[in-house]
Amino acid sequence: MTRQAGIIGHPVAHSLSPVFQSAAFAHCGLDVVYERWDTPGGRLPERIASLREPDVLGANVTIPHKEAVIPLLDELGGQSARMGAVNTIVNREGRLFGFNTDGPGFVAALKAEAVFDPAGKRVLLLGAGGAARGIAFALAEANAAAVAIANRTPERAVRLAEAVGSGSGIVRAVPLDVALGEYDCVVNCTSIGMRGGPAPSGIPAALDSARSGTLIVDIVYAPELTPFLAEAARRGLRSIGGLPMLIYQGALAFELWTGVRAPIDVMFAAARNELASRAGAQR
């Protein structure tokens, strides 16, 4: 029996998930079709109910439904309850379980692709939106020594720090002009530098104050080399882009659905081929 999985959001036309998840299923010999399920808010209950069918493995969830799906599920696992957001739904004999693999995928990417373990490290997040939220929770769970959040609207950074930190003092809000030299890792959690975004040629922070050992991370994956990463390279700083985070969060979802180890290299290759094709089409 051919089984189904897909990504639920609105819009989802440009999602890379069908590309690399389909490649992973094919590589592992699994008869699964992964589709884009564009779902306006009014149709969300109907779409989630359809995931209970026996031929459906589950779904990924993206903007704007990561919070709205929670009341429609039977149980939450991993960090999803504390975060208040779900990006992966797993169908287990008609019962729907919600997980969030965004943050854990980010930490897994740091460890595997940058050889950077957040435990005991000081990390600065630029931005306080949904991406920063998942990453902040994951870093706190990974025993980071400190997680600082800088945002254009300081109140949002304060609220996020309070939500993640629970009074521990590990997570705090800081000014946007904070000196980068006190951090082991600086992460762009905004859309600045994204192709087709509001500031494709911008950078989220100047790197003048970064020290030589600081790891620069950009969660934007299109283009793979963002202006922020290019500036890091110009200064001789280690860096990692957003594609590894996307792939590793998708790999965790794949493993939750199938119980099979995700073919990371296959997923990377499929995603990079698609990104190259899209970039060529835009020239």
Encode pLDDT of 6-21 as tens digits.
999 999 999 999 999 9
Q: What tokens appear for 212 in the block? A: 């030589």
Q: Is residue 107 part of a domain?
A: no
Q: Is residue 23 part of a domain?
A: yes
- CATH number for the domain spanning 142: value is 3.40.50.720
CA distance 53 to 96: 10
Q: What tokens appear for 7 in the block? A: 């990504």
Q: Is residue 155 part of a domain?
A: yes
Instruction: Examine the residue annotation and report whether 66 is marked as an active-site residue of this protein.
Output: yes
The residue segments making up the domain with residue 27 are 3-100+244-282
**77 and 19 assigned to the same domain:** yes
Q: Are 215 and 238 in contact (CB under 8 A)?
A: yes
Domain count, the chain: 2
Which tops the pLDDT comparison, 219 or 165? 219
Percent over 70 (pLDDT), the chain:
99
Percent over 90 (pLDDT), the chain:
89
State residue 84's pLDDT score: 86
Q: Is residue 62 part of a domain?
A: yes
**160 and 209 assigned to the same domain:** yes
Considering 3, 65, 66, 121, which one is annotated as catalytic?
66
**119 and 232 assigned to the same domain:** yes
**168 and 69 assigned to the same domain:** no
Q: Are 142 and 198 in contact (CB under 8 A)?
A: no
**94 and 127 assigned to the same domain:** no
CA distance 253 to 260: 11
Report residue 82's pLDDT band, with 50, 70 and 90 as the boundaries.
Answer: confident
Q: Which DSSP symbol is given to 152?
A: S
**14 and 80 assigned to the same domain:** yes
Assess whether pLDDT exceeds 80 at residue 166: no
What are the start-end ranges of the H helices in the chain? Answer: 17-27, 44-50, 80-83, 102-113, 130-141, 154-165, 227-234, 243-258, 264-282
Q: Are 77 and 98 in contact (CB under 8 A)?
A: yes
State residue 167's pLDDT score: 61
pTM assigned to the model: 0.93
Q: Are 175 and 150 in contact (CB under 8 A)?
A: yes
Encode pLDDT of 112-129 as tens digits.
999 999 999 999 999 998
Encode pLDDT of 179-211 as tens digits.
999 999 999 999 999 998 899 999 999 999 999
Show Cβ contacts of residue 149 under 8 Å, excluding neighbours closer than 6 positions.
124, 125, 127, 128, 132, 136, 157, 160, 161, 171, 172, 173, 174
Assess whether pLDDT exceeds 70 at residue 46: yes
Assess whether pLDDT exceeds 80 at residue 169: no
Give whole-number Cα distances, 93 to 17, 27, 128, 175, in Å.
24, 25, 37, 48
